[in-house]
A and B are shown apart, each in its own frame.
Chain A
Amino acid sequence: MSVLIFIDAAEGKIKKASLEAITYGAHIAQQLGVSAEGVVLGQITDDLATLGKYGVQKIHRVADEKLNNLDAQVYAKVIADVATATGATVLVCSNNVDGKSIAPRLSVRLKAGLVAGAVALPDTANGFTVKKNVFSGKAFANISVSTDIKIVSLSPNAYKIEAGEGTAEVVDFSTTVEAPKVKVTNVEKASGEVPLTEAEIVVSGGRGLKGPENWGMIEELAKLLHAATACSRPVADAGWRPHNEHVGQTGIAIAPNLYIAIGISGAIQHLAGVNRSKTIVVINKDEDAPFFKAADYGIVGDAFEVVPKMIESIKKMKGGA
């Protein structure tokens, strides 16, 4: 028996979301008194043995170049083969873009109940129940899984990475790998920025910023804090910012450590996607803006005055620290 963790990579590098999944999976394994094992697909340049420090004991590697790009159908078959061969009873992955493609397929292949977007360790005292967000973060649900094999995909930024001591044993797993039907023809990187769903800090702008030409200070603040940039829906709809920055109920849901909302009113649909942020700072010139009710810290003031001051102040702090 084991907990099998799908360890996800991009361009040969292990994703941060996977380190969260490893820590999470290792904790479930401890709770159940079974081993924590991992599966890695494709040709990885990162040193896999060092992932042992996050708690995974053994890593099954299928270093086939056909697995360098994601075809969920091909991936699910290989992961299911590893799961069956190793007698895994719990499968863990991140509920990131790849996890969203693979986990549902695995659920069908292994006839295993899936909890997509878990935010806490399962309660295994009496069955297997996992907490996840529902209604786009406005509520949560405890989901009970009744099948022998369980699949849990972990919501990004919901579980803290823990690094200790240890090295993982890396073994090659051999199985047939089908030819992918989905052929990746182009990968476009958003110019070296921090990916929004993985970012610890997010700086977000709304319609209060008046126009795309005013995003310079938002980007400067974000860069200074090593943060990702985001925006409200009307800002993306107006084409001031790209669609992949739109956060909220009908955009991307995020849960960074710090969310700084600048010139955003805090409509219910916006809050739904960001209210899991651990600390929320609101800068808005209207003291009655609904966002203040959902914030931890706030400044009632003009963004065009407050943000430049904030940049100066952080520079001073960083210089002094």
Chain B
Amino acid sequence: MKILVCISKTPDTTAKIAFTDNNTKFDTNGVQWIINPYDEWYALVRAIELKEADAATVIHLVNIGGADADPIIRKALALGGDEAIRVNADNHDGYFVASQIAAVAKEGNYDLIFTGKETIDYNGSSIGGMLAEMLEMPFVSLASKFELSGTTATITREIEGGAETCEVALPVVVSAAKGMAEARIPNMRGIMAARTKPLNVKEPVEAESLTTVASFGLPPAKAGVKLVDADNVDELVRLLHEEAKVI
């Protein structure tokens, strides 16, 4: 069985969000980079669990990015990926990124492709679906459980106010949400092994971007909190009813 896990590089969750170049670029000054949490905690770890259950499984990682992504790719290898492919390209939209992954996927003939449910920077939640369409594969999004029996996957996905369980034959593209696995930290042996695992760099295939970022901005700050005394809860309820008009 061959699994491809798509990993994206995102700013650490505590990174200061600011913009430069007339609000057209994210200010990377002083930013720590991490593997997008959904890609790492759920997609990658579930792939590793599948490999632990079946030693014949091979896990490839794919990232679209510059050489500055290598540290997070090495971390993913340390966690348990076998081999990584980095497509050397920067700053493009989801369609471009999906086109690159699709080219890698076509060459590798994977049974299973995992992405995170969304990245915590662009929140596009679209790479998995785009990729599936490009590869003409089924797509199950927001998976909170993934079980495999032979070549049939049983997947539970979150829906509004509940959960839905479905069955699908491989190959399939799945986007991973909380619940699919538990986050792990790499151990010393993994870190040592990762140094010599293959990280192949490829040049991008010809592909377009369909969208561009015109500008960024920050939401307006709150005006300030109105504190109500703990002995006067009626006043809070009155304010919510009469002033904010929300209850």
Contacts and interface: CB of A to CB of B under 8 A. Distances in A.
Interface stretch (B52-60, B66-74, B121-129): B121-129
Contacts of B214: 129, 141-144
A244 B246 CA distance: 24
A244 B239 contact: no
A220 interface: no
A112 B126 CA distance: 13
Interface in A1-48: 10, 15, 17
A316 B239 CA distance: 14
A176 interface: no
Interface stretch (A51-59, A186-194, A207-215): A186-194
Contact of A73 (B117, B139, B144, B236): B139
B240 interface: yes
Contacts of B133: 73, 76, 104-105, 107-109
A141 B165 contact: no
Interface in A272-316: 272, 275-276, 278-282, 292-302, 305-306, 309-310, 313-314, 316
Contacts of B17: 135, 138-139
Contacts of A243: 144, 178-179
Contacts of A112: 210
A189 B161 CA distance: 6
Main secondary structure on chain A at its contact with chain B? mixed
B48 to A, nearest CB: 19
A136 B123 contact: yes
Contact of B244 (A17, A135, A194, A279): A279
A218 to B, nearest CB: 16
B168 interface: yes
Tell me the interface secondary structure of chain B in the complex.
mixed
B227 interface: yes
B167 to A, nearest CB: 5
Contacts, number: 280
A297 B228 contact: yes
B236 A101 contact: no
B138 interface: yes
Bin chain B's interface residue count.
35 or more
Interface of B: 11, 13-14, 17, 19, 37-38, 41, 93-95, 98, 117, 120-130, 132-134, 136-142, 144, 154, 157-169, 178-179, 210-219, 222-223, 225-230, 233-234, 236-241, 244, 246-247
- 10 shortest interchain CB distances as A-B pairs: A104-B129, A301-B230, A113-B210, A195-B161, A104-B126, A108-B133, A195-B160, A309-B233, A258-B246, A105-B133
27 contacts: A73-B132, A97-B157, A97-B159, A101-B129, A104-B127, A104-B128, A107-B95, A114-B126, A116-B94, A138-B218, A146-B210, A181-B169, A186-B165, A187-B165, A198-B160, A198-B161, A250-B120, A250-B178, A268-B14, A278-B246, A293-B222, A298-B226, A298-B228, A300-B227, A316-B234, A317-B237, A317-B238
Interface of A: 10, 15, 17, 69, 71-73, 76, 95-98, 100-105, 107-109, 111-117, 129, 132-147, 181-190, 193-198, 201, 225, 236, 243-244, 246, 249-251, 253, 257-258, 268-269, 272, 275-276, 278-282, 292-302, 305-306, 309-310, 313-314, 316-317
Given A76-B133, A116-B126, 12 more contacts: A69-B164, A103-B126, A111-B210, A116-B123, A138-B219, A139-B218, A143-B211, A196-B161, A201-B246, A296-B223, A298-B228, A305-B230
